[in-house]
Amino acid sequence: MSEPTAAGSPSPEVPAKSMEQIVSLCRRRGFVFQSSEIYGGINGFWDYGPLGTELKRNLKNAWWQDVVQRELIGPDGTAVDIVGVDCTIIMNPKVWEASGHLGGFSDLMSTCKHCKRLMRTDHLWDMLSEAEWTKSILEMYAGGSVDSMQLKRWADTKGKKLAPNLALVRNPQVTLSWLADRLADGSAALTVQEFMMHLATEQAARDGLRLPCPHCGGDLTDPKPFNLMFKTLVGAVEDPANVAYLRPETAQGIFVNFQNVVDSTRVKVPFGIAQVGKAFRNEVTPRNFTFRSREFEQMEIEFFIHPSEANQWYAWWRDWRFSWWQSIGLTSSNLQLREHDRDELAHYAKEGAGTSDIEYRFPFTAPGFGELEGVAHRADFDLRAHATHSGKNDKAKYFDQARNERYFPHVIEPSAGADRGTLALLCEAYTPDPSRPSGVFMRFHPRMAPVKAGIFPLVNKEGMPEIGEKLFRTLRKKHVVEFDEKQSIGKRYARMDEAGTPFCITIDSETLSSQTVTVRHRDTQQQEKLGIEQVPAWLDRQIGLED
């Protein structure tokens, strides 16, 4: 849990971008809509509009091309072997028993005794630091000494409205006396969290201190495990035997097909299996736009190695995945690679080569970061678990001919979120520029841009529309391009700036006299002349299709 900083002077690297403005542009220009918006939406579900769909598709295609299809040179200088699978969302429920998703690895949840809301215990502090009532208390706290008079006054005014169930509001005398006792005992200084806990606690002697409900300030129950998998029924009979689950991750589809892939292809360890697909988690507190949704898409690789090579492959994957995100446009200091400390590692990773997160500083996490992709050494936890649960046991071991050895391969898992990646591209691209008619432009990497070029006849006569349409037809064989002959050229540029189109190609009078077009570059707004015949090959180069 990260504590909010008391004094708020953001570092110069924090982007001066507002999430409200980004969300508003996403809706206005058709990047992202609320799911089922005409019925008031549904919490934790999002739809992509025409531009957002192209953007997300470009991200997934680039991942697939660079991971599976194109040559990728590994740490030993030879090509890395990776093949794809596309597995079902509903699998045999035994998969989730073996993986631990049905057992002990659920998240701890607390319920508010007053407003009955359920929330993830490990999100409490983050949610509290976003709550209006906490903010107003922390403002007082940051201002220096907070005395009982101030707190009492707050409880009677703001507190009554914003956090009616907070102990301080319901029973200020008792709560303030607990706080006074604590301050008088002369032990270590009071932390922000402890301070908040005191304000939330009436019965400190009986229940101990705990954090309050972020929504209403009320008392929370003890944390209990809660399973985040969506349940459904297979077949017509409502019987517990027919219960199945929507997959909470794509990884298990890969693990249960490990043997099939080995038997049906020529891959040999070390090799990887990749999958892109939907996954579902019944998040109790979906929030931050598409960052924490209940339905989302993953891009996962399980890379199978000999256990002795874990350190080398782990480091290589971590570094390559980090540089990949940079290569598609996340070039600012808002992208960071963070190696986990040993004590925060998952149960299967404690002894391993390591775990790291590739993180992005979103406007809603700043000055902190949110996870885009995790790279973890999962050892042989999953293959072994499926070998045991399926009854195959040692027969499921991989036979390594070169080493003449039978073993469960270890796994390095780079697991990325396609929706989070898309959101990071949107946040990174969003560039306010008051000098432009649109006031903002989207600085997408050309490979990611939803529309690669806009083609505009300068005027709607003298054969310019016909020439433009011919160029449009040629370019759209390979690229998403738009033909626009309406409105002033300034308005057409503004529309393309908001869509993040890197190039606008204008057919003007010189096209008629000397077969050149005017190309306008989105980021610099500079213009250059190009022979119309050169445009297709030139555009390929800009997008990175040809060197």
Q: Give min distance, CB of 126 to Zn ion, in A.
A: 16
Nearest residue (CB) to Zn ion, 216 versus 519: 216
Nearest residue (CB) to Zn ion, 118 versus 489: 118
Secondary structure class of 298 (helix, strand, coil):
strand
Q: Of 371, 431, 323, whose CA–CA distance to 66 is shortest?
A: 323
* Residue 470 exposure: Cα atoms within 13 Å on the Cβ side: 9
DSSP designation for 163: -
Write the DSSP assignment of 381-438 as a string of letters: HHHHHHHHHTT-GGGGSEEETTTTEEEPPEEEEEEEEHHHHHHHHHHHHEEE-TTSTT
Nearest residue (CB) to Zn ion, 165 versus 334: 165
Q: Give min distance, CB of 97 to Zn ion, in A.
A: 34
Q: Give min distance, CB of 112 to Zn ion, in A.
A: 3
Q: Give min distance, CB of 148 to Zn ion, in A.
A: 25
Q: 458-461 long-range contacts, Cβ below 8 Å, gap at least 24?
A: 458/489, 458/506, 458/507, 458/508, 458/509, 460/485
Write the DSSP assignment of 472-497 as a string of letters: HHHHTTTS-EEE--SS-HHHHHHHHH
CB 211 within 8 A of CB 196: yes
Q: Give min distance, CB of 115 to Zn ion, in A.
A: 3
Secondary structure class of 503 (helix, strand, coil):
strand
Nearest residue (CB) to Zn ion, 95 versus 124: 124
Q: Give min distance, CB of 158 to Zn ion, in A.
A: 17
Q: Give min distance, CB of 108 to Zn ion, in A.
A: 17
* Residue 461 exposure: Cα atoms within 13 Å on the Cβ side: 0
- Burial class (CB within 10 angstroms; exposed 0-12, middle 13-18, buried 19+) of 436: middle
Nearest residue (CB) to Zn ion, 155 versus 213: 213
Q: Give min distance, CB of 182 to Zn ion, in A.
A: 24
The CA-to-CA distance between both ends of the chain, in Å, stands at 46
Nearest residue (CB) to Zn ion, 215 versus 321: 215
Pairing of the two strands 46-48 and 32-34: antiparallel
State how far the alpha carbon of 70 is from the alpha carbons of 79, 81, 238, 321, 343, in Å.
10, 10, 47, 15, 37
Residues lying near Zn ion in the complex (CB under 5 A): 112, 114-115, 213, 215-216, 218
CB 337 within 8 A of CB 356: yes
Q: Give min distance, CB of 166 to Zn ion, in A.
A: 9
Q: Give min distance, CB of 213 to Zn ion, in A.
A: 3
Question: Left (φ > 0), alpha (ψ -120 to 50) or beta: where does 180 sit?
Answer: alpha
Secondary structure class of 272 (helix, strand, coil):
strand
Give the phi and the psi of residue 486 in degrees, each rounded to 5. Answer: -100, 165
Nearest residue (CB) to Zn ion, 68 versus 216: 216
